[in-house]
Chain A
Amino acid sequence: MARDPVCGMGVGEDRAELPILGMSCAGCAVNVERGLRDVPGVREANVNFATARATVLFDPTLVDTKTLINVVREAGYDVAASVDAVKLLKEKEDTTVRSKVIAGSVLAALIFLGSMRHWFPWTPAFLKSFFVLWALATPVQFIMGAQFYRGAWVAFRHRAADMNTLIAVGTSAAYLTSAAATLFPSLFRTAGLAPDVYFDTSAVIIVLILFGRMLEARAKGRTSEAIGRLMRLQPKTARVLRDGAEQDVPIDEVQVGDSVIVRPGEKIPVDGTVLEGRSAVDESMITGESLPVDKGPGAAVIGATINKLGSFTFRAAKVGKDTALAQIIRLVDDAQGAKAPIQRLADRIAGYFVPVVISISIVTFVIWYDFGPPPRLTFALLNFVAVMIIACPCALGLATPTAVMVGTGKGAERGILIKSGESLETAHKVDTVVFDKTGTLTNGEPLVTDVIPAAGYGPDEVLALAGGAERMSEHPLGQAIFLRARESGVSLEAPSEFRALEGLGVEAQVAGRKIVVGSLKLARQAGADPDSLVLRAEELALEGKTSAFVIVDGKPAGLLAVADTLKNSSAAAIGKLRNMGLDVVMLTGDGCGAAQAIARKAGIDVVIPEVLPGEKASVIRKLQSEGRKVAMVGDGINDAPALAQADLGIAIGTGTDVAMESSDITLISGDIAGVPAAIELSRRTIRTIRQNLFWAFFYNVVGIPVAAGALYPVLGVLLDPMIASAAMAFSSVSVVSNSLRLRRARI
């Protein structure tokens, strides 16, 4: 198909952005996407669950937006008038859920006191009345619990059964039996059973699960902030030369070919090429490069970066959605949306569990009705419900959230912020850990690593002279030299006639001598012949170090090597990861030699060098296509797409906010010892969840046959309601205490 060269869309193709309402899980996004893709004329449809937005590319001659909206509505969801409407609605929903949890907790506590009257004899008498308990439980069941019925209904329409189905069916069974026991106690007595109520069971389950979902929703809200924050990086206006005059125009009106003026301290509005003027530009927010980059005529500038020193005019080359920033935003958006929904283990089990439980209940009913003792209908009905109650997913509902809560809390104590239960779940599957080099494995700031004096000079003397000359320098390399000189305690004299030579170095008078510090080119310009030091400088370059020649009165005095150094904790953390059986990979924009030098020190075998900032996400994608589960550790905005693309994004907390928000886990302290700790924590949490699920099921597996009356022919035992509730309580207690055990885990 022919492609429009400007916006990349096919010719004769339209694009619609639909804000979707009513998606409660990643599965919903898949449903909407599938519905849209099946429409004739739709070329591509992507639904991002985190931003609640569908992006559809379609042929306007075959289909229109109205049809698309109808398809979404048919699938059981709705389309909002605008993106802001979705946001407002979500905020309103959050407040509603919070008030539901608060009100529900109060009601559930009262119901619990009333139901456990043999444990709490001091409970006021009126609370013990079944009718009062019924009145208290009804709003919990149908107002607080409404979303479970809604969720179960949506799942039912898609021929699936999930946690919602289990919660809705289970709590309804408990609620309806209790209501029946309240209204018709004689029905129970005829069957030889005490009419007891289980209102506490249904109410407590609903409130607990609602609480878990509230915590989950909060974590998810933070994910979509990453994109908003990236968007805020973009300046609102640009100063453009039009008809010979400077005009401030909104950023959207800047056109390719416009001449744009940028003053010191301002943000560069769009991407382009410098026409006239010189300056240094801080590009760290886009490239992660910590040193300001010198820009002169012909140099490329990137939108959203900050102009430091001089003024310049540039020609706009890329505007709107073609700028580097817009592309990063799209990459983060795509990666967040495309992330495969993690099917929760409990949900997957529920998919089989619910139909199986319903089947057993039906079989129980039929067998008791056909072959049971009289009164057959009563026995059949009560045992049918008993199976449903004992299968009620109390412990099952607690199995995952409690372990995740304890696990994330444990992580927070260690400075490991885990964004959601899903992140914690994914971390244990990781088999490959990819580190960004600068700022992650290394300190991200240049330090003087070697001082090599020429014949006739001592190291301290070289440092003193160079440090003095660099005292006024604003260049990071110059500052590194000055700091090192000051730290080493040599006496520093104030320079006179200081001059910074752009891209080359500095020259100054120190103690009556002319000092030049800078590149080989500058040294030669100063008339020195530093050949004796050049070989050494080349060796240092192979180790990834930058050399600065020190020239005193036209004669070489020495060489200073400056390099980004490995963080203290890096090697130990990588050793730990390898002991855990994980593959460790280093990703860097550096050349091969320098990259290998750092990797060797850190103990990393696999290095992917010369990766451009924009390519990081595709490197991750390539590793994933080899069947690896990849964790990416990074800190810069340029790492954000890779962090979002990776199965698990781990951001260094001392890095940029955008990196943190695109990631699943943030290491607040910036200590990468948190990487093995986070993965270990995840492994333990998952182990705990599996044990929990075992215990939750163990009670069900033992309880269901008893509830169905399997022991009645042999021992004459039916499931006593008290035993049923005790078993349920015990199952929940064992699950919760197993989760709490995680708190004592040493990671």
Chain B
Amino acid sequence: MAQRIIVTAAGLLLLVGVNWYFLISGRKKAGRR
């Protein structure tokens, strides 16, 4: 069970990270151009 929680948490973190990095933060940076 603990394993599952860790994997889920890591997955969610990665998911948020990828989308924040490419979509939210990337757009903001592009918007400054």
Give the number of A-B contacts (CB < 8 Å).
44
Inter-subunit contact B7/A34 (CB<8 Å): no
Contact of A362 with B22 at beta-carbon distance under 8 Å, contacts A30-B33, A160-B30 already known: no
* B residues 1-26 touching A (CB-CB < 8 Å): 4, 7-8, 11-12, 14-15, 18-19, 21-23, 25-26
Inter-chain CA distance A474–B18, complex, in Å, is 74
If A34-B33, A370-B4 touch, whether A365 touches B11 (CB-CB below 8 Å) is: yes
CA distance in complex: A359, B7 (Å): 15
Residue in B7, B15, B33 whose CB lies within 8 Å of A369? B7
Of A42-50, A350-358, A615-623, A717-725, which binds chain B?
A350-358
Q: For chain A, which range describes its interface: under 10, 10 to 19, 20 to 34, or 35 or more residues?
A: 10 to 19
- Interface members, chain A 136-167 (any B CB < 8 Å): 158-161
Q: A363 within 8 Å of B by Cβ?
A: yes
A160 and chain B: residue at smallest CB distance: B26
Asked if residues A359 and B15 are in contact (CB atoms below 8 Å), the reply is yes
Q: Which A residues touch B12, using CB under 8 A?
A: 366
Q: A34-B33, A362-B14 are in contact. Are A161 and B7 (CB under 8 A)?
A: no
Pick the contact of B7: A158, A159, A370 (CB < 8 A).
A370
Name which residue of chain A comes closest to B30, CB basis: A160
- Bound complex: CA of A354 vs CA of B26, how far in Å? 13
- A393 to B22 Cα, complex, angstroms: 18
Considering the chains assembled together, what is the distance between the CA atoms of A659 and B29 in angstroms? 38
Cα-based distance from A358 to B19 in the complex (angstroms): 9
B29: contacting residue among A159, A358, A366, CB under 8 A: A159
Q: In the complex, which residues of chain A have a beta carbon less than 8 angstroms from the beta carbon of B23? A: 352, 355
B26 to chain A: which residues have CB within 8 Å? Answer: 158-161, 351
* Closest beta carbon of chain A to B8's beta carbon, Å: 5
Contact assessment for B7 and A366 in the assembled complex, using a CB-CB cutoff below 8 Å: yes
CB distance from B10 to the nearest CB of A (A): 8
Residues of B within 8 A of A362 (CB): 11, 14-15, 18
Tell me, rounded to whole Å, the shortest Cβ–Cβ distance linking B17 to chain A.
10
A160 to B25, CA, bound (A): 9
CB distance from B9 to the nearest CB of A (A): 9
Residues of B within 8 A of A34 (CB): 32-33
Report yes or no: A366 in contact with B11, Cβ–Cβ below 8 A: yes
Q: How far, in angstroms, from A354 to B11 measured CA to CA in the complex?
A: 17
- A354–B22 touching, CB < 8 Å: yes
CB of B13 to closest CB in A, whole Å: 10
- Please name all residues of chain B whose beta carbon is closer than 8 Å to the beta carbon of A365 when the two chains form the complex: 7, 11
A161 CA / B14 CA spacing, docked (Å): 16
Are the C-beta atoms of A363 and B11 separated by less than 8 Å? Answer: yes
In the complex formed, the residue of B with least CB distance to A165 is B22
CB distance from A482 to the nearest CB of B (A): 61
Contacts A363-B15, A366-B8, A370-B8: A159 and B33 contacting too (C-beta < 8 A)? no
Residue numbers in A under 8 Å from B21 (CB-CB): 159
In chain A, what residue has the closest Cβ to B24? A159
CA of A158 to CA of B26 in the docked complex: distance in angstroms?
A: 7
Contact of A159 among B8, B14, B25 (CB under 8 A): B25
Point out the residue from A30, A158, A359 that lies within 8 Å of B18, measured CB to CB: A359
Please report the C-alpha to C-alpha distance between residue A616 and residue B11 in the assembled complex, in whole angstroms: 58
Least Cβ distance of A281 to chain B in Å? 47
Chain A minimum-CB-distance residue to B22: A355
Which residue of chain A lies nearest to B7 when distances are taken between CB atoms in the complex?
A369
Ranked 6 nearest A-B pairs via Cβ = A366-B11, A159-B26, A355-B22, A370-B4, A369-B7, A362-B15
Which A residues lie at the B interface, using CB under 8 A? Answer: 30, 34, 158-161, 351-352, 354-355, 358-359, 362-363, 365-366, 369-370
23 examples of A-B residue contacts, CB within 8 angstroms: A34-B32, A34-B33, A158-B26, A158-B29, A159-B21, A159-B22, A159-B25, A159-B26, A159-B29, A160-B22, A160-B26, A351-B26, A355-B18, A355-B23, A359-B19, A362-B14, A362-B15, A363-B11, A363-B15, A365-B11, A366-B8, A369-B7, A370-B4
Known: A159-B21, A161-B26. 4 other contacts (CB 8 A): A159-B22, A160-B30, A354-B22, A362-B15
